[in-house]
Amino acid sequence: MRVLFLDIDGVLNSTASCIAFSGYPHDFTPAGLNKFDHVAIALIRRLCKVANVKVVLSSTWRLEFTPEQTSEGLGIPCIDRTKSLPGVRGLEINEWLSRHPDVESYAIVDDNSDMLPEQLERFVQTNMDDGLTLRDFRKLCALFGVNEYAQEPNPLPWA
């Protein structure tokens, strides 16, 4: 299994999207969805499709929304969320990974740098002003070994 640990604030919304859309999103209602950066969401959707990646929510949004609500709201394959533990976010990610030995590859995308040293080579740090950029998307593609221009996998094995 391939997993992307996803933060939301500072990744799928930013200061730029806040200014452009008059506020930060707080939910997955139509009004809330209008405040997200839809290019950033589309890039995450594309990564999930071309690299066969599942999303684990590591954002504080996990405290209010279930993986199912996140999947439905953002149109991404969110399968789980990390536990809320004392300390840095990297510990929460490490704990999740320890319970899922079937993970063959993972990446982390977050605007905060509170990861463990051994996670840094799998970490793509965004910034709150811009959110997920094309450069960040390219780094994620490289971590999963896919070409950024790759077409979606063909669902028919003979085609």
Residue 18 neighbours by CB under 8 Å, 6+ apart: 24, 35
Distance CA 46, CA 89 (A): 25
Q: What is the pLDDT of residues 64-119, one digit of tens each?
A: 999 999 999 999 999 999 999 999 999 999 999 999 999 999 999 999 999 999 99
Considering the domain boundaries, does residue 57 fall inside one?
A: yes
pLDDT at 158: 45
CATH number at residue 21: 3.40.50.1000
Q: What is the pLDDT of residues 34-68, one digit of tens each?
A: 999 999 999 999 999 999 999 999 999 999 999 99
Considering the domain boundaries, does residue 123 fall inside one?
A: yes
Check: CB of residue 40 under 8 Å from CB of residue 48: no
Considering the domain boundaries, does residue 136 fall inside one?
A: yes
Distance CA 69, CA 65 (A): 6
Number of domains in the chain: 1
Considering the domain boundaries, does residue 149 fall inside one?
A: no
Considering the domain boundaries, does residue 154 fall inside one?
A: no
Considering the domain boundaries, does residue 11 fall inside one?
A: yes
Considering the domain boundaries, does residue 126 fall inside one?
A: yes
| Domain housing 15 | 2-144
Distance CA 44, CA 77 (A): 10
Distance CA 155, CA 159 (A): 8
Q: State both tokens at 151.
A: 């077409």
